[in-house]
Amino acid sequence: MKKLINDPKSVVAESVQGFGLAHADLVTITEDPMYITRKDAPVNGKVGLVSGGGSGHEPLHAGYVGKGMLDAAVPGAVFTSPTPDQILPATLAVNSGAGVVHIVKNYTGDVLNFETAAELAEAEGVSIRTVLVNDDVAVEDSLYTAGRRGVGGTVLVEKIAGAAAERGDDLDGVASIGERVNANVRTMGVALSACTVPHAGQPSFDLADDEIEIGIGIHGEPGRHRIPLENADGITDRLLEPVLADLNIGSGDKVLLFVNGMGGTPQSELYIVYRRAVQVLKDKGASVERSLVGNYITALEMQGCSISVLRLDDELTELWDAPVHTAALRWGA
């Protein structure tokens, strides 16, 4: 596998340095320990939002640092949780006195390390709330988790909770909004090919040219089952069925439809998936009120996609539409 890297050991550090140089108007990079904050952090009187996780999922999380979304992102090594020694100073850096919400994907390392950092921050007088994202309907438990994994829904939680913090909601209010999004979003993914972690130098799993993996995780974890390759409509139907069943989506529901690329799938193919997903939702009597299509939470260069559906209400729609200005998501600002 050919990669544009220098040394596998320096991939994350050099990538974050480049990100900081490219978006110096939006973010500040701290290198030791490594974390990213919005340029104007801490924002006086505003609840801070901190998220993070293993690198390799770009633009998550650093790409969502800025007005209307995250105040800080903490990158770990590729597919490896950041440490409490990174999470704590990032938390302190964005605390304005209103408290900080940690948005944590449900992976064992992330959960444990954010819990430790939260305890240390509270010992220093910072009020912390944690929103745990577990939107993946593919599996209950995996190599990385106890319970459902946090995947595509993380982007939606960060955007909507970020808007709540920006409009001035208090600590419990911001956390409550994040939890409401998580309770109403479900995701399912598929891999057409594996990804290669830089320091491993070989694909994370074997997949024949005529096979796909349904229910894949964002670290290359195995999914529900491996099946022969189907056309785009057939794959879309397989991904949507458990998502809509779990949410009990039906006539009259208003939803946000998010088709996410895993890093190696062309935008044109994602729109083919989106087209079919809209058809399926309309057939169920649901209305697609908002959409997002593109590579927003990836697994390096994996070919494939995930589909997330979020049940909307008026307040969640308003918060989704609220201005945002980050490296990877921006409108209205």
Active-site annotation, residues: 57, 219
Stretch (H or E) spanning 187: strand 185-191
186 close to 114: Cβ distance less than 8 angstroms:
no
Q: Cα–Cα distance between 159 and 233 in angstroms, integer?
A: 29
Stretch (H or E) spanning 239: helix 232-247
CA 77 to chain centre: 16
Query: CA 90, 8, 14, 189: dihedral to nearest 10 degrees?
Result: -60
Q: What's the CA angle centered on 264, arms 193 and 197, to 5 degrees?
A: 65
Q: How many C-beta atoms lie closer than 10 Å to residue 58's C-beta? A: 19
Q: Cα–Cα distance between 133 and 135 in angstroms, integer?
A: 6
For β-strands 211-214 and 185-191, DSSP reports them as antiparallel
Q: Cα–Cα distance between 261 and 216 in angstroms, integer?
A: 13
Helix 84-93 and helix 108-123: axis angle, to 10°?
Answer: 50
Sequence letter at residue 305: C
327 close to 26: Cβ distance less than 8 angstroms:
yes
What's the longest Cα–Cα distance across the chain? 56
57 close to 104: Cβ distance less than 8 angstroms:
no
3-state secondary structure of 168: coil
